[in-house]
Amino acid sequence: MAEEKKSLNFIEQITEEDLASGKHKEIHTRFPPEPNGYLHIGHSKSIILNFELAKKYNGKTNLRFDDTNPSKEEKEYVESISKDIEWLGYEWEGNIRFASDYFEQLYQWAQYIIKKGLAYVDDQTAEEITATRGMPKEPGKESPYRNRSVEENLDLFERMKNGEYKTGKKVLRAKIGMSSPNMNMRDPIMYRILHAEHHRTGNDWCIYPMYDFTHGQSDYLEQITHSICTLEFENHRPLYDWFLDQLHEEGKIRPRQIEFARLNLSFTVMSKRKLAELVENGTVTGWDDPRMPTISGLRRRGYTPESLKTFADKIGVAKRNNVIDIGLLEHSLRDDLNKKVNRVMTVVDPIKVVITNYPEGQKEEYLEAVNNPEDENAGTRMVPFSKELYIERGDFMEEPVKKFFRLSPGKEVRLRYAYFIKCTGVEKNASGEITEIHCTYDPASKGGKSPDGRKVKGTLHWVSKPHAVNVEIRQYDRLFEDPAPDGHKNRDFKDYLNPDSLSINKGAKAEPMVKESKEEDRLQFERKGYYCVDRESTKENIIFNKTVGLRDSWKKKVHEIRHRRKREEKERQRRLQSERAKRENEKKNKK
RNA sequence: UGACCGAUUGUGUAAUGGUAGCACGACAGGUUUUGAUCCUGUUAGUCAAGGUUCGAAUCCUUGUCGGUCAGCCA
């Protein structure tokens, strides 16, 4: 098989150059989440990028929790994040790492930098430090404590560590300069005092290193070659490099920070804060609500790890800001599910059909149905048929619109894998609603094959009424009605919530085999979409989540027809009005 | 009137001085016992203006637009 030649993204290009030049013998990446929330699909881009890059070039990937802020981080998140990464199918190198594993080393490095005369303890308040940092266009002011002696700094830093000062009373700052055009370089804070319990180190420490003084050194300690992060850290790279300049030793790998554009998806929000808001105010049922773009939400919705990987591959990696069409994600999902998932017939919105010429009391009849036309190995199953059936309410129209080739009075259609049936009439209740449809069947068309070569346009899915299993279906629509809910000035993203993002249908009818399905099992309901068993499902109450619908060009056409009709109606009204006006004008003129 | 980064069909993403390609979407057609899948075709793009060059999406200059940065968050 000829290997398809695929162009490399810019990170792969850098990697290949580093390997070719001998700069690195082997590459080593890392995924460094802060354990302060749940992972979302944006993180999955980063996870896949890091793990797949290493896999491609026979390297390794670490999992490291960036836990330098004790007040925000919890064990619960360490667990959920690890689980999500495993679900995606990745194995990190060695044990899970924690930045907190390096607190002692970082402390010693801080002392070393003080001794070099490149760090000082600052007694200014947070407000003073902010005020003297200056503006992007104006340089800041030097701290009055900036020129303390090495001995004094060393002593004060040790006292900070020993808990002699209250939270926020002192900080350790790097002595770089106050006039850099890059705000991150204006004597950045390396350590702050925080009397708070850490999820791993407990009360061992009351000083905690800042991100900038932690990340690069953690990469260095783990001998990471390529430290991949998102674009907003671009302005931090000079500082990342500055600390490594002070600490890097000859012969050791010096990690390189590379930034890429984070993922943005249309019709959703991705920020932790906003997602948390939806959870807290009850808009969704939790972090794993199937409408959430979290990995746990996508998992519960029925997404496959494979579909997330092909999606990540399709969107590519670059440095320009992007908004990816949610349709591309859905395409990747359908593409994967189509190949893997077995078909079954389920009537989501049922209406009763009676086959009037089907022999009364005929013994049970079973028909053979293909499990997956895309996969020969999936085999077949037997589906029960009887005199009374359910079909989809939307598959019948008493007065059909143009090009409707489903069931309507006098028309013949195929019941998939069963028989040709012809509608002979309907029964209605007092308010005129159709309660059942009467049909005749052609016994010669068993299996759905035309006996005499005659063709039907429509093939419908159906379920035998006496054999039907009642199931609950939870259908999800996009959470927001706007393609960029958080992209509007002066408007809250919640203003764009879709009020109909969840609809629960408790009366769907499925063929008997669905009774065998277990949590997270996936099925295609023929002609409807892909569904999976929810974790709240029980034997008595089987619950399916709708993962994604099938592409539906008919629905689109119906929309178009409706639109066109509306437009034509408006046009007609306008014409009538202008004619009327004309006539009146003429009358006036005559007078 | 700061620094850094970016700008290619509707959306993503390639082309690394030499034919602007691919995917999704949209549109049209074919196959079809899922109006699905599959197949074929069509559509549409280099932010602008100058310059260098035989040749520029690519290099240079200027401008325009967008993003990031003023946490003791990451």
Separation CA A276–CA A118 (nearest Å): 40
Nearest nt to A320, CA vs C1'?
B6
Looking at the DSSP assignment, which residues form a beta bridge with residue A389? Answer: A353, A464
A453 CB closer than 7 A to any strand B atom:
no
A182 CB closer than 7 A to any strand B atom:
yes
A331 CB closer than 7 A to any strand B atom:
yes
Of A85, A171, A154, nearest to A115 by C-alpha is A154
Q: Tell me if residue A262 is catalytic.
A: yes
| Chain A 215-244, CB < 7 Å to strand B | 215, 231-236
Per-residue pLDDT, averaged over A243-255, amounts to 98
A145 CB closer than 7 A to any strand B atom:
no
Separation CA A263–CA A328 (nearest Å): 13
Looking at the DSSP assignment, which residues form a beta bridge with residue A29? Answer: A61
A484 CB closer than 7 A to any strand B atom:
no
Instruction: Yes or no: say if A175 and A118 are a contact pair by the CB < 8 Å rule.
Output: yes
Residue A573 — pLDDT band, cuts 50, 70, 90?
confident
pLDDT at A147: 97
- Hey, what are A155's tokens? 């002593």
Of A507, A574, A572, nearest to A544 by C-alpha is A507
SS (H, E, C) A46-73: HHHHHHHHHHHCCCEEEEEECCCCCCCC
**Per annotation, catalytic residue among A72, A133, A141, A262:** A262
Separation CA A178–CA A372 (nearest Å): 67
- Hey, what are A66's tokens? 């960036």
Nearest nt to A328, CA vs C1'?
B24
Residues 6+ apart with CB under 8 A from A59: A26, A27, A28, A29, A53, A225
Separation CA A451–CA A428 (nearest Å): 33
Radius of gyration of chain A (CA): 33
> DSSP state, A138?
B
Of A491, A479, A509, A28, nearest to A283 by C-alpha is A479
pLDDT at A3: 41
- Hey, what are A431's tokens? 């308010």
**Per annotation, catalytic residue among A23, A55, A72, A272:** A272
A451 CB closer than 7 A to any strand B atom:
no
Segment among A189-198, A255-264, A307-316, A576-585 with least mean pLDDT = A576-585
A124 CB closer than 7 A to any strand B atom:
yes
> DSSP state, A187?
S
Separation CA A456–CA A443 (nearest Å): 16
Separation CA A443–CA A365 (nearest Å): 12
Number of Cβ within a 10 Å radius of residue A152? 14
Separation CA A101–CA A87 (nearest Å): 25
Per-residue pLDDT, averaged over A318-328, amounts to 97
Question: Sheet harboring A469-476: ordered strands across?
Answer: A343-344, A522-525, A529-533, A542-549, A469-476, A502-510, A346-347
Average pLDDT of chain A? 95
- Hey, what are A133's tokens? 């940092």
Q: Tell me if residue A272 is catalytic.
A: yes
Q: Tell me if residue A34 is catalytic.
A: yes
Say if residue A195's pLDDT is above 70: yes
**Per annotation, catalytic residue among A12, A16, A34, A520:** A34
Residue A590 — pLDDT band, cuts 50, 70, 90?
low
Separation CA A24–CA A227 (nearest Å): 14
| Chain A 409-438, CB < 7 Å to strand B | 414, 416-417
The torsion angle over the Cα atoms of residues A145, A146, A152 and A154, rounded to 10 degrees, is 120
Separation CA A548–CA A337 (nearest Å): 10
Residue A591 — pLDDT band, cuts 50, 70, 90?
low
Say if residue A489's pLDDT is above 90: no
Number of Cβ within a 10 Å radius of residue A127? 8
pLDDT at A431: 95
The proportion of chain A whose per-residue pLDDT surpasses 70, expressed as a percent, equals 99
Main-chain phi, psi angles of A578, to 5 degrees: -70, -35
Distance A478 CA to B45 C1' (A): 30
Per-residue pLDDT, averaged over A581-585, amounts to 77
- Hey, what are A402's tokens? 């143009």
Nearest nt to A341, CA vs C1'?
B37
A208 CB closer than 7 A to any strand B atom:
yes
Residue A583 — pLDDT band, cuts 50, 70, 90?
confident
Per-residue pLDDT, averaged over A95-124, amounts to 98
3 state SS of A223: coil
Per-residue pLDDT, averaged over A327-336, amounts to 98
Q: What is the pLDDT of residues A37-67, one digit of tens each?
A: 999 999 999 999 999 999 999 999 999 999 9
A131 CB closer than 7 A to any strand B atom:
no
Instruction: Yes or no: say if A61 and A28 are a contact pair by the CB < 8 Å rule.
Output: yes
Number of Cβ within a 10 Å radius of residue A98? 22
Main-chain phi, psi angles of A369, to 5 degrees: -125, 145
Nearest nt to A343, CA vs C1'?
B34
Read off the amino acid at residue A307. Answer: S
pLDDT at A558: 85
- Hey, what are A342's tokens? 């077995």
Listed as ranges, the nucleotides of chain B within 7 A of a protein C-beta are 1-8, 10-16, 21, 23-27, 33-38, 66-74
Number of Cβ within a 10 Å radius of residue A389? 28
Separation CA A56–CA A473 (nearest Å): 41
A318 CB closer than 7 A to any strand B atom:
yes
- Hey, what are A460's tokens? 């419908």
